[in-house]
Chains A and B, each alone.
Chain A
Amino acid sequence: AQTIHQWPVAEIKAVGSPLSLGCTIKGKSSPNLYWYWQATGGTLQQLFYSITVGQVESVVQLNLSASRPKDDQFILSTEKLLLSHSGFYLCAWSRGTGANERLFFGHGTKLSVL
C-alpha cells in the first residue's frame, strides 16, 4: 500500500527565517506530486506540481520554491518567510495517468509565521 508522510507536523517560525517542508511517498513509483496551501479557514490552492524527478512547475507565485530531488520526495522551501506564508501545507500525489485521477493527501504541516 502507498503511504505519504509529511514533515514536520507543525512549525513556528520568525518572519525572514528560512523554511523547508518535506514529503515522501512510499509504495508508488513515478507519482505526480503536488503542494497545496490552505490559509486559515480558507480553501486549498495548488502551489506546485511535479510529474518527474528534477522537474517542478509553479502554479502560484508566493515567494516559495519546490524541488523533487528523488522520485519519492518533494520539498517546499523559502529563504525568507513572510507573515502571509502562515497556513496549512498539504502534499499530495496522484497516479501519472491523467487529470481525472484522485489525489491522495498527506496529513499536512501547520506553519505559523510570527
Chain B
Amino acid sequence: AQSVDQPDAHVTLYEGASLELRCSYSYSAAPYLFWYVQYPGQSLQFLLKYITGDAVVKGTKGFEAEFRKSNSSFNLKKSPAHWSDSAKYFCALEGPPSSSFSKLVFGQGTSLSVVP
C-alpha cells in the first residue's frame, strides 16, 4: 500500500530564508506526486505535481519540488520565503496511475510559519 510521510509537523523560519519541506513516500510503482497548500481559513489549493520527466518541477507562487527516486523523496522548496507563505502544506501520492479517477493519499501536513 502506498503511504506518504511528512516528518516535520511544524517549521518556523525567518522571512527571506530558504524553505524546504520534507516529504517521503512509499510506493512500489512510479508515483504521481503532488503538493497542496492550505492557507488559514481557506481550502486546499494545488501547488504543483510530478508525473514524469524532469526531477525538478515548478509550480505556482514561486514553489518548486525535487523528485528523488533514490531516496523516495519529493521535497518542496522556495527561496526566499515570504510571510504570506505561512500555511499548512500537504504532500500527496497518487496511485495507481492507470486509474480513471484520483485516489490521492495525503501526508500528515507541515505547518509553516514565516516570521517577518
Q: A residues engaging B (CB < 8 A)? A: 32, 34, 42-46, 49, 51, 59, 90, 92, 94, 96-108
Q: In the bound complex, do residue B46 and residue A102 qualify as a contact, i.e. CB atoms below 8 Å apart?
A: yes
Q: In the bound complex, do residue A96 and residue B100 qualify as a contact, i.e. CB atoms below 8 Å apart?
A: yes
Chain A: minimal CB distance from B80 (Å): 26
Given A90-B43, A108-B43 in contact, is the A99-B108 Cβ separation under 8 Å?
no
B interface: dominant SS: loop
Q: In the bound complex, do residue B94 and residue A100 qualify as a contact, i.e. CB atoms below 8 Å apart?
A: yes
Option from B36, B102, B108 in Cβ contact (under 8 Å) with A42: B108
Q: B residues engaging A (CB < 8 A)? A: 32, 34, 36, 42-46, 49, 51, 90, 94-109
Chain B residue numbers with a CB within 8 Å of A42 are 108
Chain A residue numbers with a CB within 8 Å of B107 are 43
Q: How far is the CA of A100 from the CA of B100 in the complex (A)?
A: 9
Chain B residue numbers with a CB within 8 Å of A59 are 103
Option from A44, A99, A102, A105 in Cβ contact (under 8 Å) with B101: A99
Chain A: minimal CB distance from B2 (Å): 12
Q: How far is the CA of A90 from the CA of B42 in the complex (A)?
A: 11
Chain B: minimal CB distance from A94 (Å): 5
Chain A residue numbers with a CB within 8 Å of B49 are 100, 102
Q: How far is the CA of A110 from the CA of B43 in the complex (A)?
A: 12
Given A99-B95, A100-B94, A103-B46 in contact, is the A46-B51 Cβ separation under 8 Å?
no
Chain A residue numbers with a CB within 8 Å of B32 are 99-100
Q: How far is the CA of A47 from the CA of B43 in the complex (A)?
A: 17
Option from B36, B43, B100, B105 in Cβ contact (under 8 Å) with A98: B100
> Which residue on chain B has the smallest CB distance to residue A51?
B101
